[in-house]
Amino acid sequence: MAVSETFRVDTERPEQAIDVTSQVRDVVKRAGIESGVCQVMVLHSTAAIAVNETADPNIGADVITALGNVVPRHGEWLHDRIDDNAHAHVKASLLGPSELIPVRGGELVLGTWQGIWLFEFDGPRPRSVCVHVLAA
Ligand code: ZN
């Protein structure tokens, strides 16, 4: 059995980290699945999903700063000839589009300080996040 929902996030800045843990928890609760796995996947190629501490929003900002230090906004990017956002694709590729989180007792299994970040690298724009809860 699987339950799948997609929710929308309207990002507000060119680069932004948004805590989406509560939206994902809500889908898992509605799914009513006691034991399984939850995949969280952003359906875009210039955004990413990562599990890390969300209690301090500076961590999301620090990840954006770190990626900016290793991925220059303007370089010799081939894709910039098409739509000038190659840096956003590269940053999204480094973090990846999804995370897989265990579900036990009908709840996400996350460490005390872990939450789920949506990273925007080419905003602002509406983003779709798919949450797929699979019983196992
Ligand atoms: Zn592009």
Query: What's the pLDDT at 110?
Result: 98
Spacing, Cα 62 to ligand 1 middle (Å):
24
Residue 92 has pLDDT above 90, yes or no: yes
Spacing, Cα 87 to ligand 1 middle (Å):
9
Spacing, Cα 5 to ligand 1 middle (Å):
26
Residue 75 has pLDDT above 90, yes or no: no
Residues 25-36 pLDDT 10s: 999 999 999 999
Half-sphere exposure of 106 (CA within 13 A, CB side): 5
| Residue 119 belongs to a domain | yes
Spacing, Cα 54 to ligand 1 middle (Å):
28
Q: For 70-104, b where at least 16 C-beta lie within 10 A, e where not — what string?
A: ebeeeeebeeeeeeebbbbbbbbebbebbbebebe
| Residue 116 belongs to a domain | yes
Spacing, Cα 84 to ligand 1 middle (Å):
7
Residue 83 has pLDDT above 90, yes or no: yes
Q: Which residue has the tokens 């997609």?
A: 6
Spacing, Cα 23 to ligand 1 middle (Å):
27
Q: How far apart are CA 55 and CA 6, in angstroms?
A: 24
Spacing, Cα 90 to ligand 1 middle (Å):
10
Mean pLDDT to the nearest integer, 94-109: 98
Query: What's the pLDDT at 106?
Result: 97
| Residue 51 belongs to a domain | yes
Residue spans of beta strands (DSSP E) within the chain:
2-10, 16-19, 35-42, 47-53, 98-104, 107-108, 114-120, 126-135
Whole domain around residue 82: which residue ranges? 2-23+36-135
| Residue 56 belongs to a domain | yes
Q: What is the CATH number of the domain that holds 76?
A: 2.60.120.460
The count of domains in the chain is 1
Spacing, Cα 127 to ligand 1 middle (Å):
15
